[in-house]
Amino acid sequence: MAGDAAGDADQWLEGGCHCGRVRFRVRVREPRAIACNCSICAKKGMINLIVPAEDFLLLQGEDSLSTYRFNTGVAEHRFCRVCGIHPFSRPRSHPGSYDVNARCLDDGCDFLAITSFDGRNWEENVASIRDGADGER
C-alpha cells in the first residue's frame, strides 16, 4: 500500500508512534506540509500534514491514545500514552480534518514541501492555511 512517497501523488502512506501501538494510514494528495512555531508544535518538533478525514485511517491503537487540550480546548492533540509520541491531532484550524505529524511517517517526510506558519500569532494568520486561502489548499 505504501510506495515511493516522492514519486507518486495521491498515495497512501503508513506511520505510527515510537512503540508501535498506534498505527495509521494517510493519503497524501499533495506533498505539502506546515512547520508551525506555536507553543505546542515548536516543542514537539511537529511537521503538520493536514488531510481531510476521509484521507486518514487509524489502523490500531485507539486504546493507547490520550488527548491533550489547551487554550480554547477545540484542538484534540492525540498522543500515545505508552511512548508519548504525538502521531496526529484534530486541529482547530481545519475542523473535521486530521493533522498528521509527518515526522511519524514510516518513510520520513523529506518528500514534503514545508512552508513556515506563524502560529505564535495564530488568530492573525490562520486564514493563510485554511482551504482556499491561497488558491492552493
pLDDT of 15-42, one tens digit each? 999 999 999 999 999 999 999 998 888 9
Rounded to two decimals, the pTM is: 0.84
| pLDDT for 1 | 41
| pLDDT > 90 fraction of the chain, expressed in percent and rounded | 62
Share the mean pLDDT of the chain: 87
* Average pLDDT, integer, range 59-64: 97
Is residue 82 over pLDDT 90? yes
Cell of 19: 512503540
Question: How many CB atoms within 10 Å of residue 11?
Answer: 16
Predicted confidence band of residue 88 (pLDDT cuts 50, 70, 90): very high
Is residue 80 over pLDDT 90? yes
Is residue 128 over pLDDT 80? no
Q: Which of 32, 31, 33, 29 is nearest to 11 (CA)?
A: 29
Q: Which of 95, 72, 99 is nearest to 86 (CA)?
A: 99
Q: Domains in the chain, ordered, with CATH?
A: 11-129 (2.170.150.70)
Is residue 111 over pLDDT 80? yes
Q: Torsion-angle region of residue 126: left (phi > 0), alpha (psi -120 to 50) or beta? A: alpha
Side-chain half-sphere exposure of 53, counting CA atoms within 13 A: 6
Q: Which of 78, 87, 91 is nearest to 126 (CA)?
A: 91
Is residue 66 over pLDDT 90? yes
